[in-house]
């Protein structure tokens, strides 16, 4: 009887695992991809809401446990006050760099607008109950909408009397964790881009703290930890992308938070810390498709330092919650697998290896976008033994190196994985934390070796000064808004000016309704005027303030399908130019759209 009782946690965890796998299989195989995406509009944000609430509960429980016991002192009590003060200085310097040196701007178009609009929909499109005549599935979806909003980018929406309504929602191929995080911020502080940018800024500051704590827990060396925090805060691409609304800084942060939770659990063996690790990891893998790779590092750490946990039923019982939480995400990956990702041909292939490997390896050597001194320190930290442990701490370094290889190497096989491919250098943010961890060890080793052999006690100040001097040469680079996406950036800038002159109760037709909806305007896809003429004709009655057309980026690029939507509006309706702009050979304009009349129509040639 006692043996059966001991086996119960293993049995229950096995049942949970098999039930989760069966749920994913039956759900994914019972519907086509379009239906799955329609279901995920509601179920994906609901699952993230539950996951986030569990994360808050787990964090609170762990903190309370640490405060009531000596666990916090056992983990971090050996860090001297001077190190905490130095970390504070690094945080202040990093914040000053973001505020003063790095321009606050979007750099990946129009993804950042889409993320924010999805967040707006999650925050403000809660269902109001069931409706007469709706199907069972619609009723089921509306029931869950009362708890959270819907995930998707809005192709037709309205802002009226402080209320936001989306009439046409399209599910996005990217995972929804980042829009969900933004939706929490929007619910607290309102929908505006300042709140979104500030969220990424806060994530940058928190990432510096996590880098410090990770290095200390891995190598038991606050000296290395300070260097790691300094190196991370001075990584050019990290700074640049931490003043955008791109997903990569948050992806890197939550991956690091997962590893931090794992280390805290392994150091304390507290079940509260294990619970926190499980819910953080479930949340972390839902930022980008490749985020799931962080699980490899977690498993490595568990095998290296917590192998005895695999004999405990409570470990499996708590860990099995992970599989329940990620069910919607796994279905999401299946539902979007056949969607286009901006290119033809296979998305992952060995054919891309040679070109991407050369570019992405030279990125760390050429000293143009990444300081060469950081690369040297990285390899020093990887190869040389710790001056604290008097050993190579090979398991810890191997885990960190694999972390780097996974998030650097995956893009070598990706069709758009080259760091020279447009704005895809943002992918270099993902391996930036493991680089900083090992580079910090290398800097600490170098400083202590010189101090010991040459008796130079001020070597830390000298090495820090050298790092700063190397970084200063990158300030013109990080303070520049380069020509990448110049056409889309100009479109975004001019669109803001157009939004300011739109009359109340008007609607603007555009290829990018997301940004206008974020700015509190009514907006709809320009394609409606071509593909759904009868539906569009009602706009003239619905919007008393008038109908306007945004002649935008997609009207200029060489894309016959998108160009046709623009030409159709200009040809089929009376379009009066309200304002116009020009950037290089691209033209942007705002038109008022009216039904066809005998008046001479003002239009673009």
Using DSSP's 3-state secondary structure scheme, residue 109 falls into coil
Q: Are 260 and 252 in contact (CB under 8 A)?
A: no
Predicted local confidence at residue 133, as pLDDT: 42
Q: What is the CA radius of gyration of the chain?
A: 26
Which secondary-structure segment (H or E) carries 158? strand 153-160
Confidence at 73, pLDDT banded by 50, 70, 90: confident
Residues 6+ apart with CB under 8 A from 369: 236, 237, 363, 419, 425, 428, 474, 477
- Of 115, 147, 135, the C-alpha closest to 42 is 147
Calculate mean pLDDT across residues 388-406: 85
- Predicted confidence (pLDDT) per residue in 458-477, tens digit: 899 999 999 999 999 999 99
- Of 209, 188, 251, 221, the C-alpha closest to 79 is 221
- Of 45, 36, 196, 27, the C-alpha closest to 127 is 45
How does DSSP classify residue 348?
Answer: B
Distance between CA atoms of 472 and 234, rounded to whole angstroms? Answer: 9
What DSSP line would sit under 400-465, residue for residue? HHHHHHHHHHGGGGBTT--TTSTTGGGGGGTTHHHHHHHHHHHHHHHHHHHHHHH--TTHHHHHHH
Confidence at 604, pLDDT banded by 50, 70, 90: very low
Q: Are 83 and 444 in contact (CB under 8 A)?
A: no
Ranges 13-22, 39-48, 477-486: which has the least confidence:
477-486
Q: What is the pTM of this model?
A: 0.93
Q: How open is the CA angle 250-473-464, to the nearest 5 degrees?
A: 75
Tokens of 220: 């038991």
Domain range summary for the chain, segments of one domain joined by +:
2-107+196-478, 486-594
Distance between CA atoms of 113 and 199, rounded to whole angstroms? Answer: 15
- Predicted confidence (pLDDT) per residue in 538-565, tens digit: 999 999 999 999 999 999 999 999 999 9
Residue 57 has pLDDT above 80, yes or no: yes
- Of 531, 569, 540, the C-alpha closest to 552 is 569
Predicted local confidence at residue 74, as pLDDT: 84
- Maximum CA pair distance of the chain? 92
Distance between CA atoms of 264 and 254, rounded to whole angstroms? Answer: 15
Name the average pLDDT for the chain.
Answer: 91
Asked whether the bond before 110 is cis by omega within 30 degrees of 0, the reply is: yes
Residue with tokens 């993804």: 111
Q: Could you give phi then psi for residue 159, rounded to 5 degrees?
A: -115, 115
Residue 137 has pLDDT above 60, yes or no: no
- Of 7, 19, 591, 84, the C-alpha closest to 324 is 19
Q: Could you give phi then psi for residue 139, rounded to 5 degrees?
A: -65, -40
Predicted local confidence at residue 130, as pLDDT: 36
- Of 53, 50, 46, 56, the C-alpha closest to 122 is 46
Confidence at 147, pLDDT banded by 50, 70, 90: low
Tokens of 548: 């306007």
């Amino acid at each position: 009887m006692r043996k059966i009782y001991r086996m119960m946690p293993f049995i229950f965890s096995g049942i949970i695992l098999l039930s989760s796998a069966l749920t994913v299989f039956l759900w994914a195989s019972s519907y086509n991809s379009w239906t799955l995406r329609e279901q995920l509009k509601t179920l994906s944000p609901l699952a993230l809401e539950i996951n986030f609430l569990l994360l808050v509960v787990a964090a609170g429980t762990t903190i309370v446990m640490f405060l009531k016991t000596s666990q916090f002192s056992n983990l971090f009590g050996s860090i001297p006050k001077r190190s905490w003060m130095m970390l504070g200085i690094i945080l202040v310097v990093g914040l000053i760099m973001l505020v003063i040196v790095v321009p606050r701007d979007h750099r990946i178009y129009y993804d950042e607008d889409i993320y924010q609009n999805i967040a707006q929909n999650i925050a403000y499109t809660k269902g109001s109950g069931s409706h007469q005549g709706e199907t069972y599935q619609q009723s089921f979806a509306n029931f869950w909408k009362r708890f959270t909003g819907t995930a998707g980018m809005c192709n037709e929406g309205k802002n009226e009397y402080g209320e936001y309504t989306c009439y046409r929602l399209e599910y996005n191929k990217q995972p929804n964790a980042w829009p969900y995080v933004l939706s929490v911020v929007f619910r607290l502080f309102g929908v505006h881009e300042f709140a979104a940018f500030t969220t990424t800024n806060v994530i940058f500051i928190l990432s510096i703290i996590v880098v410090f704590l990770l290095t200390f827990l891995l190598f038991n060396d606050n000296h290395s930890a300070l260097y790691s925090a300094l190196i991370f805060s001075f990584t050019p691409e990290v700074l640049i992308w931490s003043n955008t609304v791109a997903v990569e800084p948050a992806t890197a942060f939550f991956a690091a938070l997962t590893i931090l939770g794992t280390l805290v659990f392994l150091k304390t063996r507290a079940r509260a810390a294990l619970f926190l690790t499980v819910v953080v990891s479930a949340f972390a893998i839902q930022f980008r498709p490749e985020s799931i790779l962080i699980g490899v590092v977690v498993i490595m750490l568990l095998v290296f330092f917590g192998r005895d946990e695999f004999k405990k039923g409570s470990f499996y019982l708590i860990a099995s919650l992970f599989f329940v939480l990620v069910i919607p995400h796994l279905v999401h990956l299946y539902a979007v697998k056949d969607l286009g990702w901006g290119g033809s041909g296979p998305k992952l292939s060995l054919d891309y290896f040679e070109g991407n490997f050369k570019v992405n390896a030279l990125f760390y050597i050429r000293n143009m976008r990444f300081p060469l001194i950081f690369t040297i320190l990285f390899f020093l930290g990887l190869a040389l033994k710790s001056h604290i442990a008097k050993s190579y701490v090979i398991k810890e370094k191997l885990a960190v190196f694999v972390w780097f290889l996974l998030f650097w190497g995956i893009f070598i096989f990706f069709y758009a994985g080259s760091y020279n491919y447009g704005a895809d250098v943002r992918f270099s943010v993902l391996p930036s934390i493991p680089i900083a961890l090992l580079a910090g060890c290398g800097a600490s080793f170098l400083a202590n070796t010189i101090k010991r052999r040459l008796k130079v006690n001020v070597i830390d100040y000298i090495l820090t000064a050298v790092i700063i001097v190397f970084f200063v040469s990158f300030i013109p680079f990080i303070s520049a808004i380069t020509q990448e996406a110049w056409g889309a950036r100009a479109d975004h800038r001019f669109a803001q000016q157009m939004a300011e002159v739109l009359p109340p109760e008007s609607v603007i037709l555009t290829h990018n309704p997301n940004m206008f909806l974020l700015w509190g305007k009514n907006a709809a896809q320009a394609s409606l005027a071509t593909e759904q003429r009868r539906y569009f004709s009602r706009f003239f009655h619905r919007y008393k303030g008038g109908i306007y057309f945004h002649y935008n980026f997609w009207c200029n690029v060489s894309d016959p399908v998108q160009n046709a939507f623009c030409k159709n509006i200009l040809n089929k309706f009376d379009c009066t130019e309200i304002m116009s702009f020009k950037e290089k050979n691209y033209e942007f304009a705002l038109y008022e759209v009216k039904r066809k009349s005998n008046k001479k129509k003002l239009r673009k040639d």
